[in-house]
Structures are given as C-alpha cells and as structure tokens.
Amino acid sequence: MHGAYEAGPIIEKLPYPIESISAYDDKLIVGTKNGFALVYHIESKGSSACEVSLDHAYKTFSKKPVLQLEAIPELDILVSLSDNAVAIHELGSLKLLTDATQSLNQTRGANVFAIHVQVLTNIHGDKQCTLKLCVAVRKRLYLYYWKNSTQIFHELRPGADIALPDIPKVLCWCRNSICVGFKREYYMYEVDPPNISEVFPTGRNQEPLMASVGGDRLALNKDNISVLIDHKKQPTQKYGINWSEAPVAMVYRAPYLIGVLPRYVEVRTIEPKHMIQTIALDKPRILTHTRDGSLYIASVQGVWRLAYLPVSMQIDQLISNKEFELALLLSDTDSMENDDSRHENSRRLHTIKNLHAFELFSQKRYEDSIRIFSDLKTDPSHVIGLYPDLLPRDFRVNIKYPRHLPDLTGADREQALAALIDYLTLKRMELLKQDKSVKTVDVTPLMTVSKDMSNSIVKTRKQLSQIIDTTLLKCYLEINDALVAPLLRLKDNNCHVEESEKVLKKSDKLDELIILYETRQQHTKALKMLMEQSQKKQAPDVLKGVERTIGYLQRLGKEHVDTILEYADWVIKADPRMGLCIFTDELLEKKQRLPVGKVVAFLGKQVDGTKLVISYLEHVISVWGETNSDHHDKLVMCYKDVITPLLKEYITSLPEGQIPASAGTEDGDLGYYRAELVKFLSSSTHYRPERLIKIFPYDYYYEERAILLGRCGHHRQALFIYVHLLQRVDLAEDYCRQYYDKNVAGRCDVYIHLLGYYLRPAESLIDAKELYGTRTIQNMTANTESAIKLLKLHSNKLDSRKVLELLPADFSLYEMLPYLEKIIENGESQKRENMVLRNLLSSEKLVVERARILQERTKFTVTERSLCSVCQNKISTSSFVRQPSGDLAHIGCLKEST
C-alpha cells in the first residue's frame, strides 16, 4: 500500500447539520439542513494543510434543507435541489437565475437530479461546454439541456418525459443513457432510441449507490461489491470491486475509486485491483471532488479535505514497493490529464516500463518482460545482457541494471531463451525493413545512469545486426542446433566472426563453422579445415571424404580460381573422377566457370593428366559449347598423346604387309580414343587443321590425316589415303559426297580425283613411295568395278571431257554404256531446261515492255500555277520530277526531303 491522499479537517463542529456539499477551484459550498448555503475559501498551504475562511453565508438560500448541490464552473452556474424544486444560481454570488429556474417549472416535487458535463474542443481550438440535466420528479424523469445562447434549459425530448416503476433514489448519466437506482434494483434508460430495462437488484442493503467511472462506465453498488458496466449494461470487468463494508458514497478520480464507508474511506484501483489506502474518519457520509484531485468528505457537522499527493511522490513509493503496474497506471493517467508535463511524463513512463519489464524478468515472466522491452525499443544489447554468457564480457560490464540479475538454469533458462529467440527474430526483421542508407539506430538504454557513468548503448546499424545475429546463433546452439546452419546461410547474416567461431568450436559444430567461413568469404580457413577433417576418423560423417570440398569449390566462382586450384589438388589425387566434377558439374553457372586454359594446365600436371584434360575438354566443348580454337586444338593433341604409344605397339604387332584396321575398331583404350578422335575431327569446325596436320606422322594415322587433309583442301591426298592405303572405297565415296560443290574450285573435281585413283593407280606411285613407304603400296591396282559404279551413280557430277581423258585405251565401250546414256539424258534435260528458261525470260520481257508503253502514254501539263509538293513554290522553269502519285516536285526539294 502507498499514500494517494492525505486527510485533514477543514470545518469542525458546524452548528448547522450538513445536507450537501459541492466544490470547485478553491471554493467549497455547503448546503445545510435549515436551508443555508455557506461558501468557504480554501487556500492550500502545501500537502493537506490549508487555510479556510468563510466567504459568505446565504441564510435565505432556501426555506427547506438543501438536498443537492452541483457547481458547474465552465458555465458559471450552480444547480441546487431544495424546496422540492431544482433551481439555477449564479456561481459567484449564488443569485437565483429566475429565467433559467423557470425553464424547469416541471421539476416541482423533484427528489434527485443528475448532471452530465462535457467539455469539447472545436476545430478552431476553442473549448465548448455542453450540459445535460436529468430530474426525477416522483415516478417520472425529465431531461433538459443547457443552451448557451439563451442561458436557460430546454427539454431534450419535448413532451417525452419517462414513466418509472418507482421513485428513484439516485441518478447517473453514462454517455447517452441514464442509470436509475431504486430501492431494490437498478434500471438503465437509453435516451435515443428510448428504451428502459432492468440491470440487477441492489442486494440485501437495498440502498442504491452509483458513480460515473470516466464517463463511459458506471460503478453500481450491490452490498459491499461495486460492479462496473457500460452504457449498454454489459460488465466491463470480470470481477467486481470488493469493499470492506457497504459504502455510503463513491467517486472515481482516475485511477482511483474512492468509497466512503461508515467509519473510514477506502481508496482502491479498478484494473489492476488493489487496495491503495485506508483513511479513518468519524462518520463520513457525503463526498465531492474538484478537478485538481482534492476530495471533500462531510459528516453531519464537519468537513475533511483529502489532498491528492503529488504523482511523482506516489510513483516513487510504488517503484520502491515494486508495484510497477500501478505506477504505470498512475503515470499514464497523469500524462493524459496534464498536457504541460507530457514530455516529463513520457520519460517517466518509459523508465517505469523498463523497471517493470526487469521485474517481470526476475519473476520468470520472460515473454511478458521481453514484449515490453520490444515495445519500448530498449537497446537489444541490454536485453541480451539479462542472460549470462550471451554478451562478450568487455561489452557486458558496461551495462548497468537496477539490481543483481536472476540466475537462469535448467528449464528456466530454456524458457527464457525461447522468449529471447522470438524477440531477436522480430528485431532482425524490423532491422531488415529499415532504410539501409540510415546507418544509426533508434534505441534507448534499459536504465538511465548519471553522466559520469558508462551505460554502453548500440549506436550503429551494423553493430546492432552483429549483436542480434550472434546472439541468435548462441541461442540456437542451446535450444535447437538444427537452426544454426539455416541462420548462417542467410545472405544478410551478420554474425560476428570471431565470437561465432569461438562458440561453434566449443560446441564442436565444425560443419556449421565451415558455413560461417564461407558466408564471410574466409574460404582459405574453410577449405583448410575440410582438408584436415576429410581424413580424420573422429570427424563428422558430412566432412569425411571429398564430396563436401567439391561442393564448396564449385560454389566459389572464377574470381577465386587460384584458391580452387590450390585445394582441388588433394581432391584430384584422392579421387580423380570425383575431383573432375569441380570443373564440370552441370550445376555450375556460366559466370562461375573457371578459365579453361588454367584448368587444362592444372589437370595436365596430375597423374594421368592427359586423360583428365581430355575428359574436361570433351565436357567443355560438347556440353558448354566452347568454340575457342586453342581448346579444340588442345583436345586433338591430347588424344594423339594418349593414342601414339598404344598405336605404335599395335602396328608393331601386325604381320608384315597387313593393313591396320580402321580407326576405332581396335581393342581397349586404343580403339576408344581413336574413335573419339576421328569423331571429333569429323564434327568440330573450330580446330585449325593446317596446324594439327603437322603433328600427325605419315605412317599409322591414315584416317586422321585424311580428315585433316580434307579440311585443308588437299582432296587428292585425302582420297589417296582412303583408296590405296586404307582400301576403303566406301569412305572415299562418303568423302566425295561431303566435299563436292560444283561452284567451288578444287571441290568440283573430287569425283574426278576418285575416278583417277580407280583407273590409273600407277600415276601416284612415285608420290606414294616418298610419303608412305613401300609397304603401303603393294596392292595399288586398278579398280574397274568401282569406277563403272561411280560413273553410273554420279555422272552428273563428272566432267565428260576429263572422264574421257582418264579412260584407258583398252576400256570396254560396253562397260561405258550406262555412263554414256546418263550423259545423253543429262544433256537433253539441260537443253529442255534452258528452253523453258528462255521462254520465261521472253514473256517477262514482253510484260515489262507493255508496262513501259502504258507509262509513256500518260500526259500532264505544267503551267505557271503548278506548285512543288515539297516547298509549295512554283515549278516555273526549274527541273522537276513527277511522282507516281501525280505530284510534281523540284528535283532538289525531293532529294532534300528523302
């Protein structure tokens, strides 16, 4: 409990029994049983001390007891109930306002009234006061409103007075409704639309008592319990306010509900429900209050003043008692009522909320505590500092807290960390949504300290991000380590590297540590650790072997080519096939592919490096579509380097005079690589044959040389290899089909060259001996059958004159018959084709001539008025042009316009 009011007597042993009181500003009006109205001046002397003087005694105020008084300083009037009628007086002199009183002529016989005063501010900033009056006259209610322009009351609903089931004892407005208290029950009357309904009984006491709570609620008394309802009779609190005894009077002065009991006064709060103070008084019975918070309580012969203690003093008491919720309620209420001290109240409210949150944390209400810290924008580092071992010691020692931090162990720590994770996740999201160009953050310390003391506070966005992410990492390691890796993989992750490295190593989270290194671009550390862990038996399964390193290297990209090649070395040595995936994986994006030349040089230094280079270049060319001639040439050279020793061994094993098999038909690696070489030489168009043909010897590589000779345009030499060295007529004819082009010099005679090798092999004997040796030309004989077949199938591709020159003298004319028939047919076909073409050209000429004649028939006249369609000047004697549209234009103008 704390003190909200300080009581002191101001009027004692008054000779006239007190019936009613009302107060405003520094005035107290007392209505007596014998009809007097006494006006006292109250001059405060600090705290509850005051000096009281009687300003005036109006002994003719009324002939009967003054039952009810209500001062309305906003309108400068006093409303009274005496002589069974409601009267209106001027507030300063208590002079009866006759016109205003006569406007209430229907209130004769009144027994109680209720007033609703509302002060509003219009759009111009001027304050306007509205007043509504409800008067109970026996079993009827009359409603009025005060009109400032006429200074009298008018009926709120003319001619619509309200019939009641009984004589009311108390009335109270609640928004646009009126609560009526009868001897046994409460009723609620809604003014618009009219409706009256029962609320609940008054209880055993049968004495109704009510008080307005903030204008929107009512406290209705039932025995020793006050129930709070709204204007629609709905309860606003789950539980009522319990008094020690049934009160005889009540008033609400935010945030307190004050009840006058037969022997003392109780001060309570509604939400939260607390007993605040008990003040012993001698038979108090009447209660009123002023706007400054002072309460006046009257007995039959005396009056006490309850002075409202300064809010700051009350809050200090509450804070010392750790009653932070009540301190917040009091501070919040004070800030709404006192605009002048709003800034100070805001600062005080912020401090109390922080202390309240700290106390909740100490009470193990972690979620509630951290929710308040989040709303207050408290420095997250100060919130994290509530947990031991989450902040670095050198940072933590600079943060001051209200008192010793609670210990967090076991289930308590787990629950507290879960709440912290939610908080940090929220703060992280808020930070990401903020404008990145703003480098500072808006946070406040948990506790304000003096200027000569340090209370470290985060000032930059980067520093705050580091603290949040690093703390989240530590929390995940304790609560759910499966979330560590996803956190570290976030693109916007900002964990402090050294601090995170320390905790990850301590928790033996090496895989997550590698993720940290990777995201923070510390690739050398990560790859070194992967290399070390790959061979350790105690290492996690995910780090054993080469797969993890391969995946890491694939993600680095070409800007880290030197690092990739450095750590790819041990992978290639451990597993060449898997290691090659570092450079050829299908998931590699184009921008991540490494410079081919560097990779080739690196692979070439490995064991079986030539084969590795072949595999790599095959992928680069066939899958990635590489067109660089150097790389195509390099692949051909690598094929040759692998094939040469195998081919020499193979040729040596052949019997004397036996022709080697076609390329690719050999067994083992020789057959595989020769087939791939021939296939590549045939399909690729980006290697340089003039350069490569020099590295292939004249012996052994017959088919490969034939392909390269063809690419170089040496068709006679290529055909010689197919016909006489390989004795593959089918390959020779395929070659001719591939290269024949009647419109290209050198390629239009490939069939003639082939026919010559079929019919006159001896003519190339001298060149063959010089190039290929004697063992290769032992079977160079004429092939008449192939020659006749060639003449028959490709007669239209052979020059007849050159064919006749090649035919030997003893060649049978009968064997030439199919060829000659084809020649004649081709000649006739060509003749007919030429005739058709000539006729078509003649027809086209006639069409053009007719069009010319028609155009020449067109006539037009140029006069002095003829204008240029471009410049709009006269044509005159200048040179001009007539356009297809018929418009005339100067030649110069037309050229400029186009």
For residue 282, the domain's CATH number is: 2.130.10.10
pLDDT at position 341, please? Answer: 59
198 in any annotated domain = yes
Q: What is the pLDDT of residues 343-358, one digit of tens each?
A: 677 777 888 888 888 8
Residues 6+ apart with CB under 8 A from 829: none
pLDDT band at 644 (very low <50, low <70, confident <90, very high): very high
Other beta carbons within 10 angstroms of residue 540's beta carbon come to 13
Q: Are residues 114 and 31 in the same domain?
A: yes
Query: Which has the minimum average pLDDT: 622-626, 671-675, 764-768, 830-834?
Result: 764-768
pLDDT at position 767, please? Answer: 54
pLDDT at position 126, please? Answer: 78
Does the pTM exceed 0.95? no
- The residue-averaged pLDDT of 135-150 equals 91
Whether 537 shows a pLDDT value over 80: the answer reads: no
Q: Are residues 698 and 799 in the same domain?
A: yes
Enclosing domain of residue 491: 375-399+407-502
pLDDT at position 666, please? Answer: 87
Which is it for the CA torsion 806, 716, 788, 739, positive or negative? negative
Q: Are residues 679 and 707 in the same domain?
A: yes
Tokens of 443: 């946070």
Q: Are residues 185 and 304 in the same domain?
A: yes
pLDDT at position 774, please? Answer: 47
Other beta carbons within 10 angstroms of residue 769's beta carbon come to 12
pLDDT band at 764 (very low <50, low <70, confident <90, very high): low
Q: Are residues 869 and 773 in the same domain?
A: no
Q: Are strands 249-253 and 256-260 parallel, antiparallel or unpaired?
A: antiparallel
Whether 289 shows a pLDDT value over 70: the answer reads: yes
pLDDT at position 766, please? Answer: 55
Q: What is the pLDDT of residues 501-532, one digit of tens each?
A: 999 999 988 989 999 999 989 999 999 999 98
pLDDT at position 861, please? Answer: 84
pLDDT at position 456, please? Answer: 59
pLDDT band at 452 (very low <50, low <70, confident <90, very high): very low
Q: Are residues 885 and 752 in the same domain?
A: no
Q: Are residues 357 and 379 in the same domain?
A: no
- The residue-averaged pLDDT of 650-663 equals 79
Work out the burial of residue 664: count CB atoms within 10 Å of its CB; fewer than 13 is exposed, 13-18 middle, 19 or more buried.
middle
pLDDT at position 453, please? Answer: 42
Whether 772 shows a pLDDT value over 70: the answer reads: no
- The residue-averaged pLDDT of 430-459 equals 73
Radius of gyration of the chain (CA): 56
613 in any annotated domain = yes
Q: What is the pLDDT of residues 463-479, one digit of tens each?
A: 899 999 999 999 999 98
Q: Are residues 346 and 479 in the same domain?
A: no
Domain count for the chain: 5
50 in any annotated domain = yes
Q: What is the pLDDT of residues 678-697, one digit of tens each?
A: 999 999 999 999 999 999 98
Q: Which one, of 536, 428, 408, lies nearest residue 472 by Cα?
A: 428
Q: What is the pLDDT of residues 17-62, one digit of tens each?
A: 999 999 998 999 999 999 999 999 998 876 667 899 999 999 999 9
Q: Which one, of 82, 113, 81, 94, lies nearest residue 29 by Cα?
A: 94
pLDDT band at 189 (very low <50, low <70, confident <90, very high): very high
Per cent of the chain over pLDDT 70 is: 94
Q: What is the pLDDT of residues 386-423, one digit of tens each?
A: 998 898 887 887 888 888 888 888 899 999 999 999 99
Q: What is the pLDDT of residues 207-247, one digit of tens each?
A: 899 999 988 899 999 989 999 999 889 999 888 999 999 99
- The residue-averaged pLDDT of 154-174 equals 90
pLDDT at position 876, please? Answer: 82
Tokens of 445: 């310390």
Q: Are residues 232 and 344 in the same domain?
A: no
* Mean of all residue pLDDT scores within the chain: 87
Q: Are residues 307 and 324 in the same domain?
A: no
Q: Are residues 300 and 226 in the same domain?
A: yes
Query: Which has the minimum average pLDDT: 95-104, 587-596, 599-608?
Result: 587-596
Q: Are residues 46 and 140 in the same domain?
A: yes
* Structure-token match 């420095």, residue found: 379
The sheet with strand 249-253 has its strands ordered as 249-253, 256-260, 264-269, 274-280
Q: What is the DSSP string of 139-195?
A: TEEEEEEEETTTTEEEESSTT--EE-SS--SEEEEETTEEEEE-SSEEEEEETTTTE
